Amino acid sequence: MQNAGVKPLEGIRVLDISRIVSGPVCCWYLAALGAEVIRVEAPGGDQTWRSVPTVSPEGVVNRGARGPRDIALSALRRHRSKRSVVLDLANDTGRETFQRLAQHADVLVENFRPGATLKLGIDYETLSAINPGLVYCSITGYGDSGPYRNRSAMDLVVQAVSGLMSKTGFPDGPPTKVGATVGDQVPALFSAIGILAALRQRDRDGRGQHVDVSMLDSLVALLWDEPLDEYEDQGIPERVGNGDPRGAPLEVYRTLDGWVALVMTNDDQWVRLCDLMERPELVEPYATMRQRAAARDFINGAVGEWCSTRSTDAVIEHFVAISLPAAPVQSAWSARHDPHIAHRGSLEPLRHPDAAEPSPYLGAVLPVRLSRAELSSTPTEVLGHSTESVLRELLDADDDEIERLRRAGALGEG
């Protein structure tokens, strides 16, 4: 790797006061790109820290009772490459200290309910008055305006209201939850984009702004790359299972030992597939995508029959040999065992910062490879590990001041 150590977001300082998934994941991306991300949490941390399993400094995995310096697996994953500060924002001195930290930040990310930051005295208006260059990102369920503004949201809830669940599953089955937390992670991605764009605008005039991203808007954008209004007008079913009424073969087919996914994108592929299946009589009558779509059940049946007498490996080998877009339906945890993922280094072992060896758990690296940047991560810190060092570096706090803050209850038991 050229230029080891160079990171694209060097020099950008982010205050991460967000909780659970969306905000922490957004800030992890920024940290992976080289921003200095300082995670500021109340004493005890958010509920991520209380989840199981945990990993101890000796690298032992605990699923029930946890040691005092254990770190939860979720925190080991989402807070890589961040610094951890404990500060009680509900305490007057804690809030005042946070406002001073915000003067030294480029970016702040929060995902409280609308109105909560105002009550805490750390809302956009207040902090941008103190630091006009601050890019302040709020991730909420429904945004900061509109009739649903005050409703609380979670991944499943937003998947439901956005229409994503109704679009996932089989025509004769129920609405189905997407098996990844897209309701949290897609807004995390849009937030990172909004923050980076706002930083660029700030480069020109020195001024920050408010970046407002909602979970609902994010899933609506995800869904509406398809013409859902046209589907409604045409009376097309909401859920189409694993196929697509507009084409064939375009399905998931049973093999002797599993399933394979196949997508046909052009008519030459059909000629090659008929040759492979030794069904030359099918080429002519189903030469075009439109003809195949019209005979979709028949086409899928013919392909399914061919697959059903072969192993997944054999089917994929044949399909790949004739350049069809195809793959096995792998298990949810397949990436842990996949040779391509291993080659790419797409997952990395998670490590307790005090442990000599990595834990048995894996986390995804930022899936962006940059030819001139080294995006290696550092382990999640124990909660509050950097409280003192951040106060010293950013606020020039000395021992006396830290003692004063501690006595005032701003640092919790930290």
Residues designated as active site? 184
Which C-beta is closer to its own copies: that of 37 or that of 192? 192
1 near its own copies, rule: CB under 8 A: no
- Can you read off the two tokens belonging to residue 246? 């507009």
47-66 binders of its own copies (CB under 8 A): 53
Q: What's 91's DSSP letter?
A: S
Q: Looking at 42, 271, 277, 347, which residue binds its own copies (CB under 8 A)? A: 347
Q: Tell me if 273 contacts its own copies by CB under 8 A.
A: no
Query: Does 410 engage in binding with its own copies (CB under 8 A)?
Result: no
Instruction: State in angstroms the smallest separation of the CB of 323 from its own copies.
Output: 6
Range 19-38, binding its own copies (CB under 8 A)? 21, 25, 29, 33
CB 218 within 8 A of CB 188: no
Is residue 379 part of the contact set for its own copies (CB under 8 A)?
A: no
Q: How many residues bind its own copies (CB under 8 A)?
A: 146
Determine if the peptide bond prior to 249 is cis (ω within 30°).
Answer: yes
CA distance 407 to 384: 16
Query: Quick one: which of 71, 127, 199, 302 contacts its own copies (CB under 8 A)?
Result: 199
Q: Is 107 in the site for its own copies (CB under 8 A)?
A: no
| Stretch near its own copies under the rule CB under 8 A, chosen from 115-123, 167-175, 276-284, 388-396 | 167-175
Q: Do the strands 347-349 and 326-328 form a parallel or antiparallel pair, or are they unpaired?
A: unpaired
Residues 396, 225: Cα–Cα separation, whole Å: 50
Interface with its own copies, residue 271, by CB under 8 A: no
Select the residue interacting with its own copies from 60, 120, 228, 293 (CB under 8 A). Answer: 228
Residue type (1 letter), 251? E
Q: Measured between alpha carbons, how far is 128 from 107 in angstroms, rounded to an integer?
A: 11
Please enumerate in sequence order all residues whose Cβ is within 8 A of that of 121, keeping only pairs 6 or more positions apart, or say none: 95, 99
Residues numbered 327-346 forming contacts with its own copies, rule: CB under 8 A: 327-336, 338-341, 343-344, 346
Q: Which stretch binds its own copies (CB under 8 A): 85-93, 104-112, 181-189, 275-283?
A: 181-189
In angstroms, the CA 79 to CA 195 distance is: 18
* Distance from C-alpha of 63 to C-alpha of 379, rounded to nearest angstrom: 20
Q: Which is nearer to its own copies, 24 or 384 (CB)?
A: 24
Question: Does residue 93 contact residue 409 with C-beta atoms inside 8 Å?
Answer: yes
Q: Check residue 287 for interaction with its own copies (CB under 8 A).
A: no
308 binds its own copies (CB under 8 A): no
For residue 150, what are the contacts with CB-CB under 8 A and spacing of at least 6? 113, 114, 115
